[in-house]
């Protein structure tokens, strides 16, 4: 749909449209070609300024640069969370401002050479963190000092990777997410897609997965192979009930919760994503939900049966 934007050439608001292009991004003698969109004036054909599109291009360039030459923001965030450190504490240890660390974790900025080397060092050898804290110029509270002294560095990053969103599995959040989506009845097709969009949307915005779920590419879209057994357990334990329905695609049952989901275990941002995905799932047919998932790069670019990388979250077509 066309939208009116101010054109500097026409000097009035005119209808406009977006077109895809390749933007050349250069930083520290490194050059990247970034797929981006630009807004074009329908009247004169010149480019018009669109803050959102320009901002998205910049973010994509930063993410790609960090991926190829620096440190992926999600890996920094997951490393910190796996050590049970707050952003404030971790920033103090590194000698950073908290807002700077936040910008690194969310891929809003490229770490300078000093902090790139420092982050690589601590992520390779977390045992040096308590020593760094001792020489930090920042003041640590008694609680922070205790947490730092109790850092467990054994296998701290082996269990996290691109296929679980750099997030350790969170069983209770997974269960409560399932119960949330089942409030008014839902089949497995929609449930798989609801969980997929929740986790991947959270990863795209906040650099982590809500549940730590691993999704695979199957015929009907992104799929979690453990979901059926979890749902069966919830039914056996009387958390949910099932009911036969006329098959839509391949679903033969719909499931509905008997108890209220516990949303207090989620962060406010996570709840907002859950609600938006729920609205989409509730107002969209089974067929359309499945077709929408087939348009995602996460599905089209992954081989059958293989795990889906959370890096595809950055190219979601359905956004929440």
| Per-residue model confidence as pLDDT tens for the chain (320 residues) | 457 888 989 999 888 888 888 888 888 778 888 888 888 999 999 988 888 888 888 888 888 888 888 888 888 998 888 888 999 999 999 888 999 999 999 888 888 887 888 888 788 778 778 878 877 777 888 888 888 887 765 544 445 678 888 888 888 999 999 999 999 999 888 999 999 999 999 999 988 899 999 898 988 889 887 788 788 889 888 999 988 765 544 556 889 999 999 999 999 999 999 999 999 999 998 889 999 999 999 999 998 878 899 999 999 999 89
What is the spatial distance between Cα 244 and Cα 246, in angstroms, rounded to a whole number?
7
> Under 8 Å CB-to-CB from 310, ≥6 apart: which residues?
74, 162, 163, 164, 165, 166, 199, 200, 203, 209
Our count of domains for the chain comes to 3
In CATH, what number is assigned to the domain containing residue 109?
1.10.260
Q: Is residue 59 situated within a structural domain? A: yes
Instruction: Check whether residue 59 and residue 79 sit in a common domain.
Output: no
Instruction: Check whether residue 263 and residue 227 sit in a common domain.
Output: yes
Domain enclosing residue 38, as ranges: 3-69
What is the spatial distance between Cα 215 and Cα 179, in angstroms, rounded to a whole number?
19
pLDDT tens-digit map of 150-175: 776 554 444 567 888 888 888 899 99
Element (H, E) at 23: strand 12-27
Taken as a whole, the chain contains a residue count of 320
What is the spatial distance between Cα 293 and Cα 300, in angstroms, rounded to a whole number?
9
Identify the domain boundary among 69, 84, 113: 69
Q: Kindly tell me the number of DSSP H helices and DSSP E strands found in the chain.
A: 13, 8
What is the spatial distance between Cα 129 and Cα 93, in angstroms, rounded to a whole number?
7
Q: Is residue 183 situated within a structural domain? A: yes
What three-state secondary structure class fits 143? helix
pLDDT tens-digit map of 121-151: 788 778 778 878 877 777 888 888 888 887 7
Q: Is residue 154 situated within a structural domain? A: no
CB 271 within 8 A of CB 197: no
Q: Is residue 156 situated within a structural domain? A: no
């Amino acid at each position: 749909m066309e939208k009116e934007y101010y054109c500097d050439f026409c000097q009035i608001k005119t209808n406009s449209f977006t077109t895809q292009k390749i933007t050349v991004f250069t930083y520290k003698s490194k050059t990247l070609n970034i797929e981006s969109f630009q807004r074009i004036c329908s009247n004169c054909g010149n480019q018009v300024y669109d803050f959102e599109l320009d901002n998205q291009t910049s973010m994509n360039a930063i993410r790609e640069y960090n991926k190829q030459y620096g440190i992926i923001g999600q890996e920094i965030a997951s490393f910190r969370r796996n050590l049970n450190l707050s952003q404030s504490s971790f920033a103090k240890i590194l000698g950073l401002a908290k807002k700077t660390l936040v910008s690194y974790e969310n891929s809003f900025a490229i770490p300078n050479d000093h902090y790139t080397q420092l982050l690589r060092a601590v992520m390779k050898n977390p045992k040096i963190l308590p020593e760094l804290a001792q020489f930090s110029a920042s003041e640590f509270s008694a609680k922070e000092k205790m947490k730092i002294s109790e850092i467990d560095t054994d296998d701290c990053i082996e269990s996290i990777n691109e296929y679980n969103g750099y997030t350790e599995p969170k069983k209770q959040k997974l269960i409560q997410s399932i119960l949330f989506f089942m409030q008014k009845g839902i089949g497995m097709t929609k449930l798989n897609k609801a969980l997929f969009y929740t986790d991947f949307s959270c990863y795209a915005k906040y650099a982590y997965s809500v549940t730590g779920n691993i999704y695979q590419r199957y015929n009907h879209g992104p799929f979690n192979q453990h979901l059926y057994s979890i749902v069966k357990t919830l039914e056996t334990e009387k958390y949910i009930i099932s009911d036969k329905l006329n098959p839509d695609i391949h679903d033969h049952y719909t499931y509905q919760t008997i108890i209220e989901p516990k949303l207090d275990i989620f962060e406010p941002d996570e709840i907002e994503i859950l609600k938006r995905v729920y609205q989409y799932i509730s107002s969209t047919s089974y067929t359309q939900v499945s077709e929408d998932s087939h348009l995602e790069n996460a599905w089209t670019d992954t081989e059958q049966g293989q795990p889906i990388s959370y890096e595809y979250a950055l190219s979601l077509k359905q956004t929440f």
